[in-house]
């Protein structure tokens, strides 16, 4: 029988027991007594079909959550450009606000999205993924509605920043932690499809938000976005559930916790084994997560504003965000498939190197060329960077959770995934505001020029090369076996 394309794991199924007849003599009983091979679990056609359908539902539900939550967050560049324009007008919530201060709104959202990872994973294990996702969907919608009534920039930082990040965290972190437990051989492809929702979401949401803002204003756009996201997130969140064997393990852990505690600890999070944290392999992976997390969202948030320095209109700037997200979606699926075929760590290493080289070869030169005499060259370089960065830098996000299973085993996946995502969030909280300050410190003229983004482009390039170095380190550590000897298996 043909297996599912995504090949969900089915090891939890139990054998069917036949009681068609009983032996009538000792000799017959001996003949009918099952051998050791006969007692192996049998996966029936119906059981495999149910498993395949559930896995497919998990992929669809997770994709919708990522499409909605991450797609909207990745489209913050639309609001970044709008709020910066409002900062030059009197009597607006952002009058006098700097680009760095405005950027802090989007940075806060994407940072909290992963900083709260351990807490979201802990709640998903203690309660259920469904309940946590529904709670996140409610907070996500509430954040948009409250932001639509904001009159000061700090109010947008609390609503469109903190609350939106919390709502995204509860839905996004739950989905990317639950989904990998349903797959084995095709885990890379499955996560590529799911996380391509970020790119597809940005491709859809960026121009949609720009069109709505032009037609009805940003306040009504925020309200409409909240309503639409509530329908999508609640529908998808209702389908989220653990893979049965993982669910059983969570139940065992929960009962063990209840045996030592009288009350359920709401702040309990899955802790990473201390010995594991001290290993070189963990330190290498954590370093890469920090460097990539600090760099990743900087171009995403400033695509639109940097495009304006190249002479593009606001609509064209929104199209750059859409272009990056389109490449993001295609890259995650294609590279996810390649990772299953050629090794997830191998592909992770290759994509991090290419993303670093693209920043050095395309973005940095576009900021250094004299714009007056090399306008077309600067534009061409930036378009190339948008495409390469969208394809290869986003691949790290898709391959990151799958690589954790390869490196630390499924038994440590939930705790390691939550902790490292938290580190990525903390790094984003530092990297993106610092890049905004680099623009502000170089702003000495009334008109913004590409040269003012030189410091930002250099910072992103350095962080991406540090990520590539960490990926090389991870790949080398993965070759070391438990006995300390090198494992020369090329597909890792």
pLDDT tens for each residue of 264-295? 555 566 677 788 888 888 999 999 999 998 99
What percent of the chain shows pLDDT beyond 70? 81
Residues 479-490 as b or e (16 or more Cβ within 10 Å = b): eeeeeeeeeeee
CA within 13 Å, CB half, 65? 38
> What tokens does 353 get?
């190197």
pLDDT digits (tens, 9 = 90+) for 369-403: 876 677 888 899 999 999 999 888 877 877 877 77
> What tokens does 262 get?
């009288």
Task: Assess contact for 209 and 221: CB atoms under 8 A.
Answer: yes
| Residue 27 burial (10 A CB sphere; 0-12, 13-18, 19+) | exposed
* pLDDT at residue 16, as a whole number: 37
* pLDDT at residue 38, as a whole number: 43
pLDDT digits (tens, 9 = 90+) for 156-166: 999 999 999 99
CA 286 to each of CA 194, 254, 278, 419, 427: distance values in angstroms, whole numbers, following the listed order: 23, 28, 11, 9, 11
Strand partners, 8: 183
Tell me what the mean pLDDT of segment 468-483 comes to. 82
Give the pLDDT band of residue 110 (cuts 50, 70, 90): confident
CA 296 to each of CA 111, 279, 332, 429, 457: distance values in angstroms, whole numbers, following the listed order: 11, 26, 15, 11, 12
* pLDDT at residue 404, as a whole number: 81
* pLDDT at residue 88, as a whole number: 86
Type and span of the H or E element at 122: helix 117-126
pLDDT digits (tens, 9 = 90+) for 434-457: 887 887 555 445 567 888 898 999
> What tokens does 443 get?
């702003």
443 versus 98: which is more confidently predicted?
98
Domains of the chain with CATH codes: 54-478 (1.20.1250.20)
Instruction: Report whether pLDDT(2) > 50.
Output: no
| Residue 156 burial (10 A CB sphere; 0-12, 13-18, 19+) | buried
| Residue 430 burial (10 A CB sphere; 0-12, 13-18, 19+) | middle
Please state, in angstroms and rounded to a whole number, the distance separating the CA atoms of residues 194 and 91: 42
290 versus 253: which is more confidently predicted?
290
Instruction: Report whether pLDDT(137) > 90.
Output: yes
* pLDDT at residue 27, as a whole number: 43
Give the pLDDT band of residue 116 (cuts 50, 70, 90): confident
Collapse the DSSP code of 106 into the 3-class scheme (helix H, G, I; strand E, B; otherwise coil) and give the result: helix
* pLDDT at residue 231, as a whole number: 95
The Cβ of residue 102 has, within 10 Å, a number of other Cβ atoms equal to 26
Contacts of 463 (CB under 8 A, 6+ apart): 291, 292, 294, 295, 431
Give the pLDDT band of residue 342 (cuts 50, 70, 90): confident
């Amino acid at each position: 029988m043909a297996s599912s394309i995504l090949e969900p794991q089915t090891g939890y199924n139990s054998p069917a027991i036949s009681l068609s007849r009983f032996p009538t003599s000792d000799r017959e009983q001996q003949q009918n007594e099952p051998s050791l091979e006969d007692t192996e679990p049998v996966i029936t056609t119906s059981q495999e079909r149910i498993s395949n359908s559930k896995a497919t539902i998990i992929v669809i539900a997770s994709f919708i959550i990522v499409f909605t939550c991450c797609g909207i967050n990745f489209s913050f560049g639309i609001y970044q450009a709008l709020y910066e324009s409002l900062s030059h007008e009197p009597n607006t919530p952002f009058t006098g606000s700097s680009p760095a201060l405005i950027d802090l709104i989007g940075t806060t959202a994407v940072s909290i999205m992963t900083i709260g990872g351990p807490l979201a994973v802990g709640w998903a294990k203690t309660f259920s993924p469904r309940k946590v996702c529904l709670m996140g969907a409610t907070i996500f919608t509430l954040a948009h509605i409250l932001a639509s009534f904001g009159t000061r920039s700090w109010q947008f930082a609390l609503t469109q920043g903190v609350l939106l990040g919390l709502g995204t965290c509860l839905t996004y972190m739950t989905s990317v932690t639950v989904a990998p437990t349903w797959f084995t051989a095709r885990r890379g492809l499955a996560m590529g499809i799911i996380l391509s929702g970020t790119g597809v979401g940005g491709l859809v949401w960026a121009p949609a938000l720009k069109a709505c803002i032009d037609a009805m204003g940003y306040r009504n756009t925020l309200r409409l976005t909240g309503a639409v996201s509530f329908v999508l997130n609640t529908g998808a969140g209702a389908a989220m559930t653990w893979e049965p064997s993982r669910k059983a393990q969570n139940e065992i852990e929960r009962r063990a916790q209840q045996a030592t505690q009288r009350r359920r600890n709401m702040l309990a999070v899955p802790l990473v084994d201390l010995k594991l944290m001290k290993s070189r392999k963990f330190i290498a992976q954590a370093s890469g997560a920090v460097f990539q997390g600090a760099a990743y969202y900087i171009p995403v948030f400033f695509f639109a504003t940097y495009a304006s320095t190249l002479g593009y209109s606001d609509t064209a700037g929104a199209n750059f965000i859409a272009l990056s997200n389109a490449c993001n979606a295609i890259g995650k699926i294609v590279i996810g498939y390649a990772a299953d075929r050629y090794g997830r760590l191998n592909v992770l290493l290759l994509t991090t190197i290419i993303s670093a080289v693209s920043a050095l070869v395309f973005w940095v030169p576009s900021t250094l060329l004299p714009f007056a005499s090399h306008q077309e060259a600067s534009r061409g370089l930036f378009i190339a960077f948008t495409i390469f960065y969208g394809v290869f830098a986003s691949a790290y996000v898709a391959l990151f959770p799958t690589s954790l299973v390869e490196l630390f085993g499924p038994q440590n996946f939930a705790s390691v995934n939550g902790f490292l995502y938290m580190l990525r969030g903390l790094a984003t909280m530092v990297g993106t505001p610092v890049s905004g300050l680099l623009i502000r410190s170089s702003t000495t003229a009334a008109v913004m020029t590409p040269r003012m983004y030189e410091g930002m482009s250099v910072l992103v390039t350095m962080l991406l090369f540090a990520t590539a170095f960490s990926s090389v380190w991870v790949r080398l550590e993965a070759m070391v076996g438990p006995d300390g000897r090198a494992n020369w298996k090329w597909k890792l």
